[in-house]
Amino acid sequence: MKTKYHILFVDDEKNILSSLKRIFFQKKDYQIYTASSGAEALEILEANPIDILISDQKMPGIKGTELLKRTKADYPNTLRILLTGYADVQSSIEAINKGEVYRYLTKPWNDEELKMTIKKVTEFLDLKRKNAEMEAKIRKQNKDLAILTKKLDEKVKERTAELEKSLEMQTKIGLVLKQNVTDSISLLLNILSHKNEQLAAHSLRVGEMTEQLTQYIRLNPKDSGLIYDAALLHDIGLLDFNSYLFNKPMAEYPDEDLKAYYQHPVIGENIIITLRNFKTIAKIVRHHHENANGSGFPDGIYGNQIPLGSRIIRIINEYDNLIYRSDMSFTNSLNTLLNQNIYYEQDILFKFAELVKHFYLPFDNKNKMKVKIADLQTGMLLAESIFLGDKGLLIPHGMLITEKVLSKISSLNQLINQEQRLSIIW
C-alpha cells in the first residue's frame, strides 16, 4: 500500500494558499493542510501527523524561520521547507546551515520546480522510513540471535559432555575397524602372493608409488589411506587369471581370456565389497581401468565421473606394467605415458611425472650391485625381491627403499636373514 503524505502549507496570504492547494489538488498521494499563521500551523501540527511543512518567511506574529525552529524541536521527523523572497535568501541559507530547514524555495515559485521538490522530499522520507524499518528489523534479529546463541551454547555444552563420555569408546571402535581393514588387506595380498608372485609384486609397487603420489599432491590422510588400500588390491580380480599371459600383449590374449581380463575390475569389486567397511575401496578398484576420454572399461565413464583414486591408480598401474611387463626403462615408460596423455587426467599425470623424474629416472644411469639386507639404505632400488620364508613375498624388486620399508624389515628382523646379499641399483 502506497504511503499518503501529509503536507502543511503556511502563508498569511489566502490567494497563495489557494494556489498551493490547486497545484496539489489532483495528487492522491498527498493530504493537504493550510494555515494562515504560525499559531494556526502549530495547532494543526499538534493534531495531525505532518510529514512536510512549507512555510512563508514573512508573516505577522511568528515568522517562518521561528516556526520551523520550534517544529524542529517538537516534531523532528517533519521535513521543513522555507518559502522566501529574494531579499531574504541569506537568512534562509543561515537557517539551512543551522539544520532548521531542509531547503528553501524563492517566491514567486515555479510550479514544476515546486512539484519536483516535493517529490524529492517524499523520496527522501521513503528512504528514511525504510532505513528505520530495517534498523528495527536488525535490532529484533540481533535480539533473537542473542537468545538463539544462548540456547545453542547450552545445547553445545550438553552435546560436548555426551561426546566426551563416548569419545573413548569411539576411539577403541575406530582402532578395531582400522585393524580389521589392515588384516583383511594383508590376507588378500598373502593369497595373491602364493597364487601369482608377479601380480603381488606389481600390486605392492603400485601401492607404494600411489602413497608417494598422494603425499606429493598433499591429499588429506583419510583419502590417501583409502586410495593406497585400493592400489594394493586393484588387481585382486586377476587371482584366477592365466599367469602365463602376464608378459604378453593384450592383442595376443585368447577371446575367453580377453573377456576375463576386461571383467577383472568388476570381479575385484565383488570380492572386496563383501568385506566390511570396504565400499569406497571397492568402487575405486572397479574403475581403475577407466580412461579420461571415456575409452576405458568396464563402464566407459570419463573425466570427473571416475573416482580420484581410480584416476591415480590408472596412471601408476600402466607405468609399472610398462617397466616390468614390457621391459622398458623408467625414462621410456614415462615418455610413453606422456605421449598417450589423452587417457589420463593431465594434472595428476604431470605431478606423477615430477615425482618419477626426481626419484626414479636417475636409476636408468646407475649400476647393479650386491649388498647385505642389513646394509640397505634409503634411496636404493631393490633389483631383487625379499621373501619372508614360506610366508611369501615381503618386498618386491623395483621397490624404492624408504624409511617405511626399512622399518618393515626391522620389525621382522628375527624372520629375515640380515646377512643375505641382494641385488640393488645404487
Section 25-50 average pLDDT: 88
Highest mean pLDDT among 91-105, 122-136, 155-169, 349-363: 349-363
3-state secondary structure of 282: helix
How many helices, marked H, and strands, marked E, lie in the chain?
A: 13, 10
- Predicted confidence (pLDDT) per residue in 376-410, tens digit: 999 999 999 999 876 679 999 999 999 999 998 99
Whether 138 has a pLDDT exceeding 90, the answer reads no
Between the alpha carbon of residue 321 and those of residues 286, 344, 375, the distances in Å are 18, 15, 29
Whether 210 has a pLDDT exceeding 80, the answer reads yes
Section 314-340 average pLDDT: 96
Burial of 314 (0-12, 13-18, 19+ CB in 10 A): buried
Highest mean pLDDT among 106-120, 156-170, 391-405: 391-405
Section 332-337 average pLDDT: 97
Burial of 9 (0-12, 13-18, 19+ CB in 10 A): buried
Share of the chain above pLDDT 70, in %: 88
pLDDT for the residue 251: 82
Whether 117 has a pLDDT exceeding 80, the answer reads yes
More confidently predicted of 267 and 89: 267
More confidently predicted of 183 and 227: 227
Residues with Cβ within 8 Å of 375's Cβ and at least 6 positions away in sequence, in order, are: none
pLDDT for the residue 153: 65
Q: Are 426 and 380 in contact (CB under 8 A)?
A: yes
* d(C-alpha 345, C-alpha 341), whole Å: 8
Q: Virtual CA dihedral for 380, 328, 241, 191, nearest 10 degrees?
A: 0
Kindly indicate the confidence band of residue 165, based on its pLDDT and cuts at 50, 70 and 90. low
Integer-rounded Cα Rg, in Å, for the chain is 43
CA dihedral sign of residues 127, 128, 133, 136? positive
The mean of the pLDDT values for the chain is 86
Whether 299 has a pLDDT exceeding 90, the answer reads yes
pLDDT for the residue 155: 67
More confidently predicted of 209 and 86: 209
- DSSP string for 38-78: HHHHHHHHHHS--SEEEEES--SSS-HHHHHHHHHHH-TTS
Per 3-state DSSP, what percentage of the chain is helix, strand, and coil (rounded to 5)?
65, 10, 25
Whether 322 has a pLDDT exceeding 80, the answer reads yes
Least confident of 177-181, 183-187, 249-253: 177-181
Domains and CATH numbers, the chain: 5-109 (3.40.50.2300), 196-365 (1.10.3210.10), 366-426 (no CATH)
pLDDT for the residue 391: 67
Whether 228 has a pLDDT exceeding 70, the answer reads yes
Nearest in space to 330 (alpha carbons), one of 400, 406, 260: 400
Nearest in space to 208 (alpha carbons), one of 401, 426, 410, 416: 401
